[in-house]
Amino acid sequence: MSESRRSRKQILLDSGQLWLLDRFENLLKNRPIESAENIAIKFTNIARLVDGKHRKRTLSNLELAFPEWSDEKRREVAKEVYRHFGRIIADFVQTSQRTDQEVLDSMEVIGMEHLHEAEARNNGIIAITGHFGSWERMAQWLHATGRHITVITRDANQGVLDERVKQMRKGAGMDLLSRGSAARGALIALKRNKIVGILPDQNSDEIFVPFFGKQTGYVRGPGILRQSTGSPMLTVYAFRTGPGKYRMEISPIVEPEPGYDEVEGIARALSKELEKAVRKAPEQWLWMHDRWKSARQRGIL
């Protein structure tokens, strides 16, 4: 196929994706949040039924993490995982409709003293979260309180869809850095005493640390960034507690796990913090992702 024909095909594909996204947004906007969530759940339920690959991966990951569960419980939690992300999608689509005060009123915060302690160091903050609960709400809350956050993102490689998500995030007050070229921007933001948000909970092969008792690939970036800057690091997870309601839990300042170099010690500490959050609400984590892929490929799982 010629370059021009590929280009025309991509243009048509992008146009189709944009048309579908516009229809979906129009369907969910300007509705009560519970109604919007219920509509979005119908779509994610369909996705669960037709996408066998990710449905099976969800169940397989749950079996790795919770071998003590019955098959019935794993199937029910897997269904709830899809329902949860339907709710989160609906909430994200309505981002532009919410005022800062509505964001503040929707969020219970636990551990605010840890954020204040980190801010008192005047050296920026590395905020670690994950594809859990509503990571978008976490960033929105920080912006609503007058704090500036720069988020390191992993491009979805979906053309127009990825660009639309970026624009919605920017509209909510975030600055964005693409993961592959984020180092310089992150260093500048921390030097300016800003908050840098990172979601390092997806597959990697840079370093291997325990997660639910199994070795899993983790990125070295958070540890290297802390080592380079001395900036305090916190974990921040926003649990969904009801329609449009969230509870944000902020950890004490993270220190490396003893007995390892700083980068691996940080990776181990962060993996433990994520596991603690996921155990509290297993249905709120992205189990569809192949988190143990590199470990399987290396033969250590």
- Specify whether domain 3-297 bears CATH 3.30.70: no
Asked if residue 4 has pLDDT above 60, the reply is no
**What is the token pair recorded at 124?**
């920026």
Percent of the chain with pLDDT over 90: 74
What was the pLDDT predicted at 212? 98
Amino acid residing at 256: P
CA atoms of 42 and 183, how far apart (whole Å): 39
Asked if residue 156 has pLDDT above 90, the reply is no
What was the pLDDT predicted at 298? 93
Q: What is the pTM of this model?
A: 0.90
Average pLDDT over residues 280-285: 98
pLDDT in tens, 111-150: 999 999 999 999 999 999 999 999 989 889 999 999 989 9
Helix (H) or strand (E) holding 210: strand 207-211
**Short-list 84, 113, 53, CA closest to 289:** 53
What was the pLDDT predicted at 1? 44
pLDDT in tens, 35-68: 999 999 999 999 999 999 999 999 999 999 999 9
Banded model confidence at residue 30, pLDDT cuts 50, 70, 90: confident
Provide the pairing of β-strand 175-178 with 107-110. Answer: unpaired
**Short-list 87, 84, 85, 82, CA closest to 46:** 82
Asked if residue 80 has pLDDT above 90, the reply is yes
Amino acid residing at 63: E
Question: What does pLDDT average to over the chain?
Answer: 90
Banded model confidence at residue 2, pLDDT cuts 50, 70, 90: very low
What was the pLDDT predicted at 3? 45
pLDDT in tens, 286-297: 999 999 999 999
Average pLDDT over residues 100-105: 95
Task: Identify whether the C-beta of residue 242 lies closer than 8 Å to the C-beta of residue 256.
Answer: no
